[in-house]
Structure formats: C-alpha cells, structure tokens
Amino acid sequence: MKNGNRRNCIQSHFAKRGLKFAVSEESLSRQLEKLLGEERFESWEEVRYKRNLGIATIQDEYAIFQTVEEMNLVGSSQAEIALDIAVQPKEFVIVTS
C-alpha cells in the first residue's frame, strides 16, 4: 500500500472512532464545552490548570469525562500527530471488528 493510501485508510479508521482532523483548538474547545456543559467544562479546565502546576494527574483530567466521544474530542487536538506516527511503520495493519 502506498503511503498516501495508507494515511487515508488510517485516518478513516481513526475518524470512524471519533477523532476529528483539521479542526482548530478553539473549535474543539467550543465543541467540548457544549458536550460537557458549563459546570463540567469549568471543572475540566480547573484540573488542566492544576496539572500544569503539578498538583493533579492525567487520571484526574480523564475522570471528568463520561463518554468516549468526550475523550476522543480532547484527543483530536493530537489527531494529526497520532496519524503521523501510525503511518510510519511499514508493518502497520488495521484490524477492524
């Protein structure tokens, strides 16, 4: 499989599981706030701030989320990086269920 085809196939695989590509941080933030609601969104922002200070963990941050959609939306900020890494290995095989 050529690299371009591999990239498209993997991106499609990720997108079917909820990762969004080519979306600004601002747009992702607005979408997340809509999903979480104002109170949970503010709690998430507070935990992120505490993580930056070293007094909260990534587990504390993820504990805010209640759905895979919420987690994938946050992960979408790094979707391009995940795609770049996934495309690199030649032996990469997509397993579908």
Q: What is the DSSP string of 5-45?
A: HHHHHHHHHHHHTT---S--HHHHHHHHHHHHHHHHHHHHH
Tell the residue number behind the tokens 């709690």, with chain if given.
43
Instruction: Quote the pLDDT of residue 85.
Output: 87
Question: What is the average per-residue pLDDT within 6-18?
Answer: 90
Predicted TM-score (pTM) of this structure: 0.72
Q: What is the pLDDT of residues 53-91, one digit of tens each?
A: 999 999 999 999 999 899 999 999 899 998 888 888 656
Instruction: Quote the pLDDT of residue 76.
Output: 92
Q: Average model confidence (pLDDT) for the chain?
A: 88
Report the percent of the chain where pLDDT is more than 70.
88
